[in-house]
Amino acid sequence: MRMQAILSLLASTPYVRDYFNITHDVLNHLGSISPYHRARHYDASEIDSELPIDCTVDQVMLMHRHGSRGPIGEQRYIERLIQTLHNATDIIREVELPRELEFLRAGYNSSLTPHNLTILGRKELFDHGVELALKYPHLTTDVILSSDSGRVVESARWFALGFFGFDSDVRIVTVNNRDDPVSWITPAPGPACPNFDYSFGRQATLTWSKHYLPVVTDRLNMLLPGVGFTEDDIHGALFACAYDLASHGASPWCGVFQPDELANFEYERDILMDASCAYTLPHNMAPLVGTVFVNKLIERFTDSKGDSRPLYLEFGHDVTILLALSALGLAKDDPPLSPDTLRPGRKFRTSELTPFAASMVWEKFTCTSSYNGPQIRLILNDATMPLTICGRGMDPVLGTCSLDTFVNANHYSTSIRFRDKTWNATCGV
């Protein structure tokens, strides 16, 4: 009776009906642990992806997330699931399995390697290197900058192989080998901002998971009576879906979940990242820390120090990109996301913003007649992201704006300096 009441309630919920009325694609509902796929940005439906023929890209700044990896903290949920299934081996052999769970007859085991870049992750980076080289054949560099994380450095190497080929002279330098007091690649958490705390994200997911995990747990226990799935097991199955895809390109678990259940999991991943390193992190901390990236972008594109390069290839994490977007006010929801209510029309979707191998490409371009002066454009995961921060100065056709307009629009970022009064008060330095 409890299950029937829950399903009846779900069927009457608008966001569930909406999800059943669209073509379902699991890659769009796994949040920031989704394998790479082209983005479909909320504000970009009318944006032209091609620059006018008289325009030339003069400078590019790439910030790239590492490729698909194995699980980290999520591994314990997957291992818990495997143990539950192992304990119920005799039950699974005897019970009549529904089609979507028939794979359990042969057992389920995980061969995932925690933390490490997967084979598909290497391919993502190699392919992106090839694609960027084809897109900007007139731009080059002799140095790549990377976070010192092993999977990020390896990602940079696979990208370099695709971009430069064998026997190139490009150097891969990590942030540890630089003298910058704070890095725009890995600015937080740490000594730069001691108050930066990921636990807000974890608390948000705990709140939201209470809304949907009991429902899914009940449903699977009805399909497989006697196995005794717990909510942790269901979490493990959801993570197995995502990380099997990231490692092998397919997962039997993805077909087990209904569209509304994956929609709830997606929202869990979104509020995790939003509260960890974006808009619902308290005290405006994410936009503040993100100013380090925005100021570096402006410094390079305006050549304010007289040493700008035509091409920057840099590699970091999903946090790197989300902090930058937060400082720019892009993909921002009003009102903010809440762990109490799912927001189906939200802009902040990490499967679109920061999947594995996310690629944030900033272009500075000039034109002979279409525009006066240098212009700026953001291409996030192969789709133009409109620079709404420019307000009425944004070109409604291309989603771009002039460099001058962009600099003026980012007066908050340009007013912040590392360890100034505002920084220290917010970060507790």
Rg of the Cα trace of the chain? 23
CB 30 within 8 A of CB 36: no
CA distance 318 to 77: 22
Is residue 318 annotated as a catalytic residue, yes or no? yes
| 4 C-beta neighbours (distance < 10 Å), count | 8
DSSP character at residue 338: B
Residue found under tokens 């080289």:
133
Question: Hey, what amino acid is at 356?
Answer: F
CB under 8 Å, gap of 24 or more: what pairs does 395-402 form?
396/46, 397/46, 397/47, 397/48, 398/47, 398/48, 398/51, 399/43, 399/44, 399/47, 400/375, 400/376, 401/375, 401/376, 402/371, 402/372, 402/373, 402/374, 402/375, 402/376
Instruction: For the chain, give the number of residues.
Output: 429
Q: Which domain holds residue 320?
A: 2-427
Domains of the chain: total: 1
CA distance 354 to 366: 28
pLDDT of residue 12: 38
Of these residues, 64, 66, 128, 317, which one is catalytic?
Answer: 66
Tokens of 356: 């594995």
pLDDT of residue 18: 38
Residue found under tokens 């305006």:
302
Residue found under tokens 């921060």:
389
Cβ burial, residue 365 (10 Å; 0-12/13-18/19+): buried
**Helix crossing, 259-277 with 318-328: angle to 10°?**
70
Of these residues, 260, 318, 333, 395, which one is catalytic?
Answer: 318
Tens of pLDDT, residue by residue, the chain (429 residues) = 344 443 343 343 433 333 333 334 898 899 999 999 999 876 666 899 999 999 999 999 999 999 999 999 999 999 999 999 999 999 999 989 999 999 999 999 988 888 999 999 999 999 999 999 999 999 999 999 999 999 999 999 999 999 999 988 899 999 887 767 688 998 666 788 899 988 999 999 999 999 999 999 999 999 999 999 999 999 999 999 999 999 999 999 999 999 999 999 999 999 999 999 999 999 999 999 999 999 999 999 999 999 999 999 999 999 999 999 999 999 999 999 999 999 999 999 999 999 999 999 999 999 999 999 999 999 999 999 999 999 999 999 999 999 999 999 999 999 999 999 999 999 987
CA-to-CA separations, 350 to 40, 220, 341, 355, in angstroms, rounded: 11, 27, 17, 6
pLDDT of residue 179: 66
pLDDT of residue 315: 97
CATH assignment of the domain containing 146: 3.40.50.1240
pLDDT of residue 158: 98
Is residue 232 annotated as a catalytic residue, yes or no? no
Instruction: Give the list of residues 6+ apart from residue 422 with CB closer than 8 angstroms, or none.
Output: 288, 415, 416
CB 6 within 8 A of CB 326: no
CA distance 203 to 274: 12
